Amino acid sequence: MQKRLWHFRMPGMGLSCNDLRFDKPVSERQARAELRLRDGYKRLPNDTEFW
């Protein structure tokens, strides 16, 4: 599914979530790649949720 706004929650964040906004529709795969690049992760932690 292509979206411009993706919400995500990483382990340890509790009930809060953050979001990633894009200028064009992107897939979940692209949103995950952007989060890894932005925060300097090689891999996202297990149980990271996107919606």
pLDDT tens digit at each of 51 positions of the chain: 889 999 999 999 889 999 999 999 999 999 999 999 999 999 999 999 999
Strand partners, 8: 18, 50
pTM over 0.75: yes
Alpha carbon separation from 37 to 14, 22, 28, 42, 46 (Å, rounded): 23, 14, 14, 8, 17
Total domains in the fold of the chain: 1
Q: For the purposes of burial, counting CB atoms within 10 Å of the CB of 6, is it exposed (0-12), middle (13-18) or buried (19 or more)?
A: buried
Pairwise CA distance, residues 40 & 9, whole Å: 16
Q: What is the pLDDT of residue 47?
A: 93
Q: What is the pLDDT of residue 1?
A: 81
What is the domain range of residue 24?
Answer: 3-50
Give me the amino acid identity at 45: P
